[in-house]
Amino acid sequence: MNDKIFINDIEIFAKHGTNVEEKFKLQRFLVSIEAQLDATQAKYSDMIIHTVDYTKLLGTVLDAVQGSSFNLLEKLAQHIADKVFQKFQPVLLLDIIIKKFPDSLADKSFLGLGFSSTFSRNE
């Protein structure tokens, strides 16, 4: 099985971070998600019920990021994974990349920072 559905660079404004100002001021995040699943049935049926609907996946990611506030990107990624696995039974593996663009960084010599991880339904 090598079937994947992905959404790259979802721009989301939310409040995540360890600094006090990050708890109150919206910051820019880019979230990419790649969901591995068995899409064999969808390939033959051409029916959305046999796969994961991109728009619903997008909505789940948006709700997870905007509807919570965490100190660490690691916890945010786990939260996204939990929500996706809960809502989409066909998803077996997830790759999540979160990029953050905090205004509070004194060092502006880079464009952003982030975290990425792979999550398995069986973990």
3-120: which CATH topology?
GTP Cyclohydrolase I, domain 2 (3.30.1130)
* Order of strands, sheet of 93-101, starting from the edge strand that comes earlier in the sequence: 3-14, 27-37, 93-101, 113-120
Query: CA–CA separation, 123 vs 120, rounded Å?
Result: 6
Q: Which tops the pLDDT comparison, 18 or 107?
A: 18
Q: Is the pLDDT of residue 106 over 70?
A: no
Residue 97 has pLDDT above 70, yes or no: yes
| The predicted structure's pLDDT at residue 104 | 59
Cα-atom radius of gyration of the chain, to the nearest Å?
Answer: 16
* Whole-angstrom distance, CA of residue 35 vs CA of residue 18: 29
Instruction: Note whether 56 and 24 are within 8 A (CB).
Output: no
Q: Please report, for the chain, the start and end positions of each structural domain, with discontinuous segments joined by +.
A: 3-120
Mean pLDDT over residues 22-27, rounded? 88
Distance of alpha carbon 48 from alpha carbon 42, whole angstroms: 7
Region for 17 from its dihedrals, namely left if φ exceeds 0, alpha if ψ lies in -120 to 50, beta otherwise: left
Please state the pTM of the whole predicted model. Answer: 0.92
CA 45 from chain centre, in angstroms, equals 28
pLDDT at 108: 65
Mean pLDDT of 104-116: 74
Q: What is the pLDDT averaged over residues 49-68?
A: 96
Task: Take residue 37 and report the two structure tokens written for it.
Answer: 């699943």
